[in-house]
Every structure is written in C-alpha cells, then in structure tokens.
Amino acid sequence: MVIDGLEIPEDGSGIDPADAALVRSASGDRDAFAELYDMMSARVFGLVLRVVVDPSQSEEVLQEVFLEVWQSAASFDENRGHARSWILTIAHRRAIDRVRSASSRARREERVALQELHTSAASVEDHVQLLIDGSRAIRALDALPEAQRQAIVLAYFGGYSQREIASLMGAPIGTVKTRMRDGLSRLRTEMEVTR
C-alpha cells in the first residue's frame, strides 16, 4: 500500500502499523509510541529540516512534534485519515511556526538594534551639546563680577539658600538677592550673546 508517497508494509490485517501504534499510544502504551517514533522520526525530521533548514532547530522541532503526538494521540481519528499524514501535518505546522517565530524574533532584534543605534547617536549629540552649553556657561559666569558669580555658584552648584549665602558671604540677605538677580540677568544676556 502507498500512502503519502511511502510504501506502507501491511501485516496482513490491512491496517497501517503506524495507525495501530498511534491508537495503542493513545491508551498510554509507551512501547507502541517507541515503535511509532522509530517508524516516523526520520521522515518527520526530513520534512522539518526542509522547512526550518537549521539542523539543531529541526531536532528541537522533532522533539516538539513527538511530544504533541504523545499528548494528542487520543484525538487521532483513524476514520478521518492515517497516522502518518496526521503526524506529518503536525510536523509541518510546527516547522512553519518555528520559522515564523525565528523571523519575528529577527525583526524584533533588528528594530531594537536600530533603536539603540539611534539612541546612542542622539545621546552623543546630547553629550556634545551639554559640553558646549557647559563651556558657554563657564565663560558667561567668568564675565560676571566676583560677588554676583559667588552668590550664583553657591546657590546653583552648592545648593545653599539665600539666607545661608548671606551668612557665608557676610552680607545682608537683600544684598545677596540683588546680586543673584543682577547676576542671573547678566548671565542670561551673556549666554544669548555667545550663541
């Protein structure tokens, strides 16, 4: 008998041995499943390898196929087809799923890589801009009178309050406020001029 292009040996009863082994496997017969594996594994592996191409991936798919066959053996209906066709259909589906999954993963990794490339380029630009802005800020601070520069540096880089700055500088708080206001105004003007 020829099924799916294969010569199927008959045991005289007219039943395909793969069908009989699958039916027995459905009842938990491990020996029958081992027979089924021996009958079908080479053919399944060949089909999977043609679809997946990668031998190690194909071996994984082969294991998945026979795990599904073992777990789903009870759902096989011998009146609707042969075990060989049923198993090869499962194998083909699993192989296609593996290819799609690998393709999807490759596209995802490519998107992440492109995003990281864009992000790192943007972060280099941001870093350079910060260096440029920092240099401009230092030059603008250097252009301020000493008292204004000191008050601003203590407030913005030292984290001191105006009251603490007044105490540190030995000046009235009103004077410190005026120095900071005037200094920030000049600093803004200097930063606009150096753009």
Q: Quick one: how far is CA 38 from the chain centroid?
A: 38
What are the chain's domains? Answer: 2-109 (1.10.1740.10), 143-193 (1.10.10.10)
In 3D space, the residue among 29, 114, 37 whose CA is nearest the CA of residue 68 turns out to be 37
Q: Is residue 52 within 8 Å of 95, Cβ to Cβ?
A: yes
The Cα angle at residue 121 between residues 116 and 127, in degrees rounded to 5: 120
pLDDT of 24:
95
Give the global pTM.
0.53
Question: Which pLDDT tens digit goes with each residue over 48-92?
Answer: 999 999 999 999 999 999 999 999 999 998 888 999 999 999 999
Pick left, alpha or beta for residue 171 (phi over 0 → left; psi -120 to 50 → alpha; otherwise beta).
Answer: beta
Report the half-sphere exposure of 36 (CA within 13 A, side-chain side): 29
- Whole-angstrom distance, CA of residue 177 vs CA of residue 152: 10
* Residue pLDDT, tens place only, 148-158: 888 888 887 78
Q: State the virtual CA torsion across 63, 69, 71, 73 in degrees, nearest 10.
A: -160
